[in-house]
Structures are given as structure tokens and as C-alpha cells.
Structure 1
Amino acid sequence: MPKTLLRAVSAILLSLTALSAPAAYADDETTPVAVTVNARAALATVPQTGIGTNHAIWDTNLGTDETADRLKDAGVKLLRYPGGSYSDIYHWADHTAPGGYVAPNTDFDTFMSGVRRTGAQAMVTANYGTGTAEEAAAWVRHANVTKGYGIKYWEIGNENYGNGHYGSAWEADNHADKSPAEYARHVVAYADAMKAVDPTIKIGAVLTTSANWPDGLVGEGDTGTWNKVVLSTAGSKIDFVILHWYPGALDKAGHVADMIHLTREQITKYAGTGSERIGIAMTEFNTGSSSAGTTTQPGALAAADAYATLLANGVFTVDWWNVHNGIGPVTQVEGHTDYGDFGLLSSATCTSDNSVCEPALNTPFAPYYALQMMSRFARPGDQFVRAATDQPKVTAHAARRPNGDLAVLLINTSSDTSYPIALDYSGFRPAAGAATVLTHTNGATSITTSTAENPTLPPLSLTTLVLRPASSQTGLPAAPGQPTASDITDKTATISWPAASPGARPIAKYELHRQNGAISEQLGETTGTSFTVNNLKPGTRYTVNVIARDSGGGLSWSSPPLTFTTGTPAASSCTVKLTNQTDWASGYVGAIEITNNGAPINGWTLNFTWPRSWQSLGSGWSAVWTQTGSDVKVVNEAGNGSLATGASTTIGFVGNYSGPNVLPTVFTLNGTVCGTA
């Protein structure tokens, strides 16, 4: 995405979002924040390519040694090229971008020189908008055959849903047909041509991001949303999908789990056999609001929170927009000048009247230190585990290291309150003595290192604690393999997993644990590699891990997580079918068809609960609708209250949402849980 567009987007977001300084609570100044870390509740493993950023061919400093060295010091492991929307006008062979500016010394080979100096991998975006499959295949040949760069990840286009098909147009697209079907057909052609040159490469296709325009929209003449059409047509040819996210506020990390879950659901539903191989890449991310602090500490705190949450949910790379971007609206945020720059490093540019200039070229902005902290907190091969606090202004993340160490990242978003902490653990026992403490504070120009047992968190700070285990980690069983779920009903599910390799002692049993925030609930244990769980709740999402215990009581690491959702009763006296009829990415028209499968009914009440706090009822018809908290109650009107056996009635509503739209699945009719169609 070019900086001019980012500034336009930022201007819109400024009218929607303002940063509210967190209030201080006097009694919290001496009350320790309870931090709970659950090493049994494992999430994703940290990927090699997790910490990434974007390079753009209009950036004169793209290929300099100083830039590469700065990125290396930040721990950046993936660099994306040639830069947002420029990708769809860029022609690599002659290094031109008709209609755009190409800076000197930004050609592909110069970029790759910087990638190698950084110690990173490259991700290349092939030109879909004004290019061809043959041009992309030639690029693969030059990169991987002629030059031997071994570039693994190749995207097909950038934000191609922004080609005017849904109204807004910022992405170049010379195709007469701008539909998702046309894009998908070309993805297939690009994949075939590019993999004919190098079968080992991975091909990525552009998707819309949940609850972000134009997600949920169905264009004229289309058979479904952008994601449905693209995945249905090109799913068998791609290896990963591409999301972009500019949330426009600093408190949206809570949307991530549902955002990624809904994306995976779409992949599973539409991409066909073998879709589990398809990864998810967040190839552009920024807080997206210059008023909130794009170059100051609030932006850094939001960046660290988002990176940790996205990676813990299995995204294989998160790529900051941008390395250098240029000055924007200048404000004062938390006592420091914010330059409204979406870059990690200063471009040394000035406002149009030269009244304000950025610091010296390549001076790191605050989000740079967020990426640096992330790279020191969660290293490739570490396993994220659940962590939580009892203080809303303090966020916790944790990761377990292969050597047995535990790293805990704590983010204090309060502007004026320091918080002492009290750590509690499940599945981990720390060694006595001080922990290594890494800290970045408001306005700091480096990350400091110290030691402490229970450090105090300064206002607006990032703090990582690294703790050693109390006992040796040798001789323990290996972690069980990836669990799978089968025979899922409304109340039961069978969980199976590959056996763990024993350590110094035989494996005695396996334990199945359900994640409930930062607390684990043991669902059962077995000597085998399969377990049927009973007494589950209908329409509920469960995340579980398996742990091996040896004959001496030694515990393995947790398996990778498994997430599954229970259904509704296969046989019930009622059936409900919810249909999302028309969606506009912040609301939708829903229809609910109620069928009576039992004895005749004279008067009915339908109840359901919105799954998320950001969902609400806008209006309803063909019944009397009320909402209390998150609970919705629907009572028949005089004309549709009688339902004979087998009879149906349909009611409608407008649902609003400001985050990923997880639809309700559990409905009760006159107190009975209904089946769903």
C-alpha cells in the first residue's frame, strides 16, 4: 500500500478512532498484578519467518547496508518486495513501474543483497494487475535458477479486491473482468507457470480480512464473497493466503483469534482436499492511526501485542508496513513528537513547509523496538503458551523455549501507573533467583537488560522476563503430535494424536487438557492415543492439547493445539436455520427460519446469545425482538405464533458488528436446544 493511500486511510480513521489515555488507579500502585502463565496450554510454534517488514521500490534507502543492519538488529526474518500497491504496476525485468516513482538502487538484485545481509528470507509479490503469468515465471527463473536465491514465498498480486469491483479502486488492474473469479483463474495460471520453473516454491493468494472491507460483500455477478470464489477456484493450487490488517486503533488484538479462526474455516470449507496445508500470512500490518501514535510508544505497545497474538494463532509471518515511509500528520503523543510515519525507521523527511523534520535517517521509531523485543521474546522454535493478567491495562504473552526456559512478555498500556507483578505458573516451575529482564520504556532508544525476581512494569512499557526451569529438562518424553477430532456431536468428540517418542523412561499415559484462558481443565487421560470426550456443550469452540507423562512422572511439552466446535442436537423438537443474506462488512441482514419438529406449538420464544461483545441487534421484524446484554429474546407476533408439526416461520433482523462476525449457533425454542440446518 503506497504512503499516499495510507495517509488517506489514516485521515478516515482519525475521524473514527481516538486514543484515550488509560486512567490510573491509585489502589493498583501497590497491589501486584497477578500474572498467570500456563505452560500446558500450548499455542503455535514460533516460525522462522515470524518477524517481517515491507520494502518499497520508491524508498531510496531500500538496499543500503545501514538499513539492512538496522533490520538485522531488530531480528527481522522476512522482507517483502516490491512494496504494496506498487506490486501491481512493477515490472522486474526492466525495473519500471509506469505511473509510479522508482528510486535508484532499488532493483530486485539490490533488494536481495540487503535480504542476505539482514539474514532474512524474501517474499516477492508478482504483478497481477498489469503483468502476466509468463512475466512472473521469468522472475522465478531469474531468482531461483539463474541467481540461486532460493526464494520460497511468492504472492500473486496485492489487495486485488481494491480494483473497483466493489466500488473503491486503488489497485491497478488492466483486466476487463475485475471479479474474484477472474483473479482466481489467473492465480491458477500463475501457479502453474511459476511452479513449472521451480516446483518447490509456495504460492499465495489474496483474501479479504474478516470484518474489514470488502469482506462479506458479494459483487454483482459473483457467486459468493471474494474469499469463497478465490478459494473454491484456486484452493488446490495455492500454499498460503494473504491478509492485510490496519485496525485503526490500539486495542484490537482481541479480534485476532476470531479473525484467524474464520479464515481457517473458509479455507477448510472452500479450498478442497488437503486444505490443511494452506498457511496464513499477514503481509501488511500497521496500527493504521497516526493520532494513536505510529512512531511513539503506544504504537509500539500495540505492535508487540498484535505480533504476539497473530503468531500465537498460527500466522507464519507478520510484516510491518513499512521500513521507510515518510512524514505524515505531526502530533504530540504521550510526551513525544509523533511524526505520523508508518515506517520503522526515519526517512529524515520534513513537512511541506519544513516546519518539522524527522530525526536523522534510519533513526528507529518506537515500533522498531517492539519488533526487536518480539524477536528476543519469542524465537523461532519456541512454543507460545497461554498467559493472562487480572489488570486490564497489562497484557501478557508467554513462550516456552526448547531448552526449558520460559519467556513472558508484559505490556503496560497505562500512561502514568507502574505495576508490580506477582507471577503464578501451571506446568512450569522456575529456578530460584532473579530472572533476566528486558525493558523498553516510553521514549527510550534501546532495550535495557537487568535482573529481578518480580520487576515493576513502568508506564507505557514492554517488559520480557526470561526464567530458567527449576529442574533438568533432559530425558523427558517428546511432545505428542498434532491432534485431530472426529465423530463430533453436540456433546461428544473423539480426539486422536500421534504417539510421543519416549525419553529416558517409558510413557505411562497421555493427558488431554482443555484451554480455558490461562487455566487448563483436564478432560481425561488414557494409555492409548485416542480419547472420547463427553459432557461437552453444544455449539462451543474448544481448544485442547495432549501431554505425555512418563513412568517417573516426567511431562512432555504440550502437543500443538487442536480447535474444534461442537454441533447442535441431531434430533430435536425444533430446527433453526440462520442465513446471512446481505453483508456490508460492519453489519448484515439475517434471516432465521424456525421449524417445529414436535407437537403443535401455540406461542413461541426464541433465545440466543451473541458470541462476541462487538455484536448487537440493530432491528428485527416478523417478531418482537429485545436484547439484554448479549442475550437476544424473540417472541412471536400474533400471526405466526402457532406452528403445527413440520410447520416453519421465518423472521429477520439486522445484526451489527465491529469485529470478526462469529455467527450464533445455539438457539433455544421455548427452552429446548434446537438443531441447526
Structure 2
Amino acid sequence: MSIPRPPTTPTPPDQGAGPRYPLVKRPARVIHRLLTGALLLAAATTAVAPPAAAAAPAETRVDVDVRAGLATVGDVALGINHAIWDSQLGTPAVSGLLQDAGVQMVRYPGGSYADIYHWRDHTAPGGYVAPNTDFDTFMAGARATGAQPMIIANYGTGTAQEAADWVRYANITKGYDAKYWTIGNENYGNGHYGSAWEADEHADKSPKEYAATVIAYAQAMKAVDPSIKIGAVLTMPGNWPDGIVGPGDESSWNQEVLTRAGSVIDFADVHWYPGGNTPAETLTKSAHIQEGVNLLRQQIDRYGGQPAGRIGISMTETNVEIGRNTQPGALFLADVYSGLLAQGVFTVHWWNVHNGLGDVSTVAGETDYDDYGLLSSGNCNADGSVCQPPLNTPFAPYHALSLMGDFARTGDRFVGTGTDDALVSIHAVRRANGDVAVLLINKDEAGPRTVKLNYHGFTPAAATPSVSTFANGDDGVTTAAAGTAGTQTLAPYSITLLTLHPARTDAAVPATPAKPSATTTDRTATISWPAGPAGLKYEVYRQNGGVSELLGETTGTSLTVRNLEPGRRYTVNVLARDTAGRLSPSSPPLTFTTGTPATSACTVKLRDTNDWGNGFVGSIDITNNAAAPVNGWTLAFTWPTTWQTVSSGWSATWEQTGRTVRVTSDATLAAGATASAGFVGSYSGPNALPQVFTLNGTVCTSV
């Protein structure tokens, strides 16, 4: 990823060289029209039976809960990549299209090119640089778009002084106020882990060297402008080389970089290309987001230094493997941008504005050019037999991004949602004026859905809502009043944005409570928050899909919740209600995980002793803390996700049913003794290790 297509014409792919004759699209519809005409002609002379009634669309329940507050949308949420090999960089046509789509951040100078690019003379030795793509041109385009820049400093072949001089030129000389700077791009791809696509002239290619150089860059760059924010390259959990310990390293890339350089960085920069062999498989990958972001946040908080939460997360590249220019790419973009932003990622960027023609195919009846670009490059293959649509024609993901611009606006708060249909995704935001916007994504290529919407903590007005839709094969987004707040019909392979006004607007609701904190044991959590004005009652809700659970209410500023499950992750919000019954917006979310018993009849230690990116060797030590021996034992645990399995095991009998694993042995475990067993585990997403183990039904202490 993050590199342009090799040219298929004598000029670079983004030049749009060669004839720009778009392929004839949707031949199936032409055939349908011909057949329809033939049938009408036949009907004039032949009596035919009336067609059978069409089956009603499948019905789906969705829930929207405004009491379950998630992350707030920032001012750089919607991003896109630009590249110095793109001759359209900064042009009025492109800037206008990006502005219309609501783009708020533009990344430069373009993926892996960043590690060969020298800004002073605008060169990239070994790569192609298009005319009129220098930094000032880029900044003019960013300003025309109304977007902030995300600039990648050259780690691979550059120096800290070169990066500091770039900051000086950008913010002191030119006054661009460029706030966000990342040190390098995908620098773990420098050969240290076996794969080498990223330029790196450092003799030492380890994460230790990268971390040391990040410190030097950060110090030099912030000496010029202390207000800038510095990002370091990390890996997304579940994506290579996550979990792998390279030769000579003490730990994985993320742990090494955060431990050594966490104190000087302001955000972690990750990329995510989740793959998938079919469009349907690709569209399931959004289910990995919550676990992946949570694991990354745990790593940052554990190794990045205090205070926890100081380091933000940016997702500056993502795309799909199949259907890049057609509806799967559009559905993926809307689902993934929403999912990442809801989990607190502060900016999400599509790769790329333009990229070039790849292997042409038909996806869901539409021509797909296998082009990572959001807009057509207008180029042809080598013999001119296949050409893209005219230059800058928007592909389907562009229209999805445009819907995102209407949906997730600066200051909106994502709220909890749920659905009973795996092929329907739902996201929602609450606006400052009390409106609620709901984004519905139907991932079924052939089947429509009748959606029944249920609201919690919000009552919509009775008026017919405004509905914006982008369906398979559409040339753009259409908007009209349609359906009701409680019922909508979703076309196959479509994105629908529903904007709702509240039935009533209270003049003065209580202020939003501040983010709570928690102290936990294995079974309890005491949740606390700062006091508000007198006379308020506080309600504490646990997020549970689209319908939150009321844990309790109090006029105080803390609540102790009991009977929790050991080792389980919980997310809660606090809301304030005044004496008139008016309810505040939800507090920022608090996520905590209960522990395991401080003392128990058993102790279990699980270690990942060797990881290769989609599998690992696990070692489990089981200690009998009781005074009596255990004659035969069963250890049980549950994988946190559905994409984790035990492939094989030893020193005991291993069995997995669903997500639950049972390890049995007829051996005697003496008092104070430790037994060890091992297994090979596999995973196809973020690999969150189990935290809770039971031995013969007793919850053990985990260490």
C-alpha cells in the first residue's frame, strides 16, 4: 500500500495519459431494458399471467441510545491522502471536490514517498515527482479545501535538521500553522521483520533506533515551534508486524517505540488494510475496530508514559482489497470511518486521492478499476483497450465520504447503537442542537431491508425525516423526505443517512458531567465524577449495544456497582437529571476492566512466547495455591473474540467449543505445585489474550 501504481502508459498513472473514454457501465441494465421492450411487444399479442408478488424485504431491528455517549467528532476527523506523484495535487477541481465532501485534513507528501522526499528541493530520488506538487502548492490546495495538513517528515533518508527546517519554513516563514507532523511512514517495513518496502538508510533498522531518532526529530522540531504535535509510526493490532519480536529486540515494535519515545510524542499513527478474499468478507472487518483500538489504547497507556490518554491515535491510511472503486469500497469507508471515530481515533484518512488503473473487474454489476484512488486518474492500460472514466470522476467511495461529511460534523457526539442483523451496520451521532443523525449501511448485495428504529433517551419529531441515500450504481447522493423516524427501507448495498429533530427541545438542560473515573476489584467498581450544581440526580448507565443498562442513581458523586464479572471490560456514562426531570447529555465514556481475585486457590499465568502475526505459541502455568492436592483438573477460558482459536496443544487435552477452551488432565497437581501446558493459537484480527481462567470451576488469580 501507500505507493502509486506502476505506470501503464508512458506517463505516470496520475497524469491521465491516453484516451479518456470511460467504459460502458452497467451492461446488465441495457440487457434488462431490451428484454423489457421485447416482453411489452409480446404482451400486445399474447395473454400472460400476472407476475408473482415480490417478497417483502427482511426486517431488521436497530437501536439508538443517546444515553451511551462515545467519542466527540473533532475538527480534523475526515481525512484523505495526497501525493507528490499526483499531477492534480492542489488543483481547483480537486480542492473543490474535497471541500464538497467535507474533507478536514490532507496528508502529504504521500505514503512511502515520504521516506525518500526532500522538501527543500522537492525531489524524491528513485521516485517520480509530478510538476506543481511542491509544499506551497500542497498548502494552497489544503487551504482551498478548508483542511488542515498532516505532514510526514522524512525518516528513511532524511535528518532531524531537515525536518526542523521544514517546520521553520512552514510555520515561521510562511505562517501556515501546520500542527500535525508524523516521523516517517510504515517504518516497520524497512526489512527488520523480513519485508522491505520502506526506504531506510539507518544502519540499525530496529524499533530502538526508530525511537531514538523520533526523540531527536521531536526535540529539533519542537525547538522551532513548541506548539506542533509529533506522531510516531505504530502498527495496528491484528496487522503485521503486530506482536512480532524482531531479531535483537526485547519486545514488539509498538512496545519498543512507546517505551523509549512515548514521552516526546503526541499521537500514534497507524494504518489498516484488513484484507478479505471477497467483498462480503471485507465488509465484516469493521467488527475488528473496537477490539483493535482498545488494544492499541492499552499499549499506549501501559508503555507511553503518564498521564494515560495523553497520546492520541490517527489512522492515516485505510482501503479495501476488493471493490475499491465500487460499492464495497463505499460501504467499507462509511462503516470504518464511523467506527474508528466513535472509538476516539481523531482523524481517519482514505488512501488515496488518485492512484491509477489496476486489474479491471466487475463487482456487484459495476466496473471496478482496482484503483486505490477516490477520484479517477483517467488513464488507460498499456494497449489502450481499457480506460478509466474522465479525470477526477468520483468513484463510489467519494460519495460515501461526502455522506460522512454530512453525518459526522465537528462537535457531534457518537452514541451507542445496536442491530440484530449482521449485514446491517448502524452508527449515530447527537448534535449540539439536540438533533440525532443515524447512518445505516446495508451490506447485503441483493436483499433490501426494512429497518425498525428504536430510540432510547430521545424522542424524534413526528415529521417525515430528511433521508440521504447512496446505493449501488448511483452517480451521487440523493436526498428527500422519506419513511418515518421509526421505519426506513434500505436498498441493497446502500448507505442511508437519516436526520431527526427532537419532539421537544428543553431550554436549559443540565450541563454534561465530566468524564468519570473508577476504582475496581474483581467484582466491584466504584465510579466517581466531579460534582455539578446543587439539586442534581446522577444516573450511571452501562453501555450494552443500543440499549444501555441503568446501573444506579444517586444525588452524590460516586456509585459502587457490585456483582460484576471478573476480567470483563465495561463502558459507562454518567448523566445528570434536574428537579424538572430534564436530562443532560451523557458524560464522555469511561472504559474499565475488572480484575481477577487478589487471592484464590489457583494462579494462572499466560504468555505469548512466539508470535508471527496471525498465530502464536502460548504457554500457561497453573499453580495450586490450596493446602490439598488437586486430583485431575480442568482449566477453562474464553477467547475475547470470535476470530481466535486453538490450533493444537500439548501436556494436556485441549478442546474448543465456540469461544470457550477447556484444558483437561488426569494428573495430580500437588499443593503449591505448578503445571505447565502449551498451545498454538491462531487469529485473524486483533489478538486480545484471555484474562480470566477457572480451575475446576474456581476463578483463578491471573498474573
Instruction: Give the distance between the partners of 2:463 and 2:235, measured in 1 at CA.
Output: 48
Instruction: Give the distance between the partners of 2:669 and 2:88, measured in 1 at CA.
Output: 71
The 8 Å contact of residues 55 and 81 in structure 1, kept in 2 or not, is answered as: yes
Say whether residues 1:469 and 2:502 are aligned partners: yes
Tell me which residue corresponds to 2:299: 266
**3-state SS, counterpart of residue 656 of structure 1:** strand
The 8 Å contact of residues 28 and 419 in structure 1, kept in 2 or not, is answered as: no
1:321 aligns with one of 325, 348, 351: 351
Tell me which residue corresponds to 1:553: 581
Q: Residues 479-628 of structure 1: matches in 2 within 5 Å? A: 479-486=512-519, 488-500=520-532, 507-598=535-626, 599-628=628-657
Q: CA deviation at 1:5?
A: 8.8
Q: CA deviation at 1:457?
A: 1.0
Instruction: Give the distance between the partners of 1:225 and 1:416, measured in 2 at CA.
Output: 43
Say whether residues 1:191 and 2:224 are aligned partners: no
Instruction: Give the distance between the partners of 1:322 and 1:31, measured in 2 at CA.
Output: 36
Tell me which residue corresponds to 1:18: none
Larger radius of gyration: 2
Instruction: Give the distance between the partners of 1:189 and 1:28, measured in 2 at CA.
Output: 65
Tell me which residue corresponds to 1:659: 685
The 8 Å contact of residues 72 and 119 in structure 1, kept in 2 or not, is answered as: yes
**What does the per-residue CA deviation read over 1:285-340, in whole Å, with 9 as the maximum and x for residues that have no partner?**
111x1xx2100112101110011000000000000000000011100111111011
Say whether residues 1:251 and 2:248 are aligned partners: no
Instruction: Give the distance between the partners of 2:72 and 2:257, measured in 1 at CA.
Output: 28
Q: CA deviation at 1:603?
A: 1.2
**3-state SS, counterpart of residue 72 of structure 1:** helix
Instruction: Give the distance between the partners of 2:568 and 2:360, measured in 1 at CA.
Output: 46
Say whether residues 1:167 and 2:209 are aligned partners: no
Tell me which residue corresponds to 1:3: 4
> What one-letter code is carried by the residue in structure 1 that aligns with 2:675?
T
> What one-letter code is carried by the residue in structure 1 that aligns with 2:353?
V
**Count of residue correspondences:** 648
1:633 aligns with one of 656, 662, 684: 662
The 8 Å contact of residues 236 and 275 in structure 1, kept in 2 or not, is answered as: no
**What does the per-residue CA deviation read over 1:40-70, in whole Å, with 9 as the maximum and x for residues that have no partner?**
1111011111110000000001021101000
Q: CA deviation at 1:665?
A: 1.1
Say whether residues 1:226 and 2:253 are aligned partners: yes
Tell me which residue corresponds to 1:294: 324
1:82 aligns with one of 106, 109, 119: 109
Instruction: Give the distance between the partners of 2:59 and 2:652, measured in 1 at CA.
Output: 50
Instruction: Give the distance between the partners of 2:306 and 2:494, measured in 1 at CA.
Output: 45
Tell me which residue corresponds to 2:336: 306
**3-state SS, counterpart of residue 548 of structure 2:** strand
Tell me which residue corresponds to 1:20: none
**3-state SS, counterpart of residue 59 of structure 1:** coil
Q: CA deviation at 1:395?
A: 1.2
> What one-letter code is carried by the residue in structure 1 that aligns with 2:493?
L
Q: CA deviation at 1:473?
A: 3.5
Question: Given the superposition, is the C-alpha separation of residues 628 and 27 from structure 1 closer, same or farther in structure 2, using an over 3 Å criterion?
Answer: farther
Instruction: Give the distance between the partners of 1:507 and 1:339, measured in 2 at CA.
Output: 62
1:446 aligns with one of 452, 456, 476: 476
Tell me which residue corresponds to 1:277: 310
Bigger Cα displacement from structure 2, 157-166 vs 597-606: 597-606
Tell me which residue corresponds to 2:383: 353
Question: Given the superposition, is the C-alpha separation of residues 142 and 507 from structure 1 closer, same or farther in structure 2, using an over 3 Å criterion?
Answer: farther
> What one-letter code is carried by the residue in structure 2 that aligns with 1:451?
A
Say whether residues 1:420 and 2:447 are aligned partners: no
Q: Residues 392-431 of structure 1: matches in 2 within 5 Å? A: 392-431=422-461
> What one-letter code is carried by the residue in structure 2 that aligns with 1:322?
N
Instruction: Give the distance between the partners of 1:6 and 1:121, measured in 2 at CA.
Output: 30
**3-state SS, counterpart of residue 467 of structure 2:** strand
Q: Residues 14-53 of structure 1: matches in 2 within 5 Å? A: 29-53=56-80
Q: What percent identity do the matched residue pairs reach? A: 62
Q: CA deviation at 1:498?
A: 2.7
Instruction: Give the distance between the partners of 1:499 and 1:399, measured in 2 at CA.
Output: 26
The 8 Å contact of residues 142 and 149 in structure 2, kept in 1 or not, is answered as: yes
Show structure 2 runs of 5+ residues with no match: 9-52, 276-281
Instruction: Give the distance between the partners of 1:130 and 1:183, measured in 2 at CA.
Output: 13
Instruction: Give the distance between the partners of 1:461 and 1:6, measured in 2 at CA.
Output: 33
The 8 Å contact of residues 477 and 507 in structure 1, kept in 2 or not, is answered as: no
**3-state SS, counterpart of residue 235 of structure 1:** helix
> What one-letter code is carried by the residue in structure 2 that aligns with 1:513?
Y
Q: Residues 36-185 of structure 1: matches in 2 within 5 Å? A: 36-185=63-212
Could you state the TM-score of these two structures normalised by the residue count of structure 1? 0.94
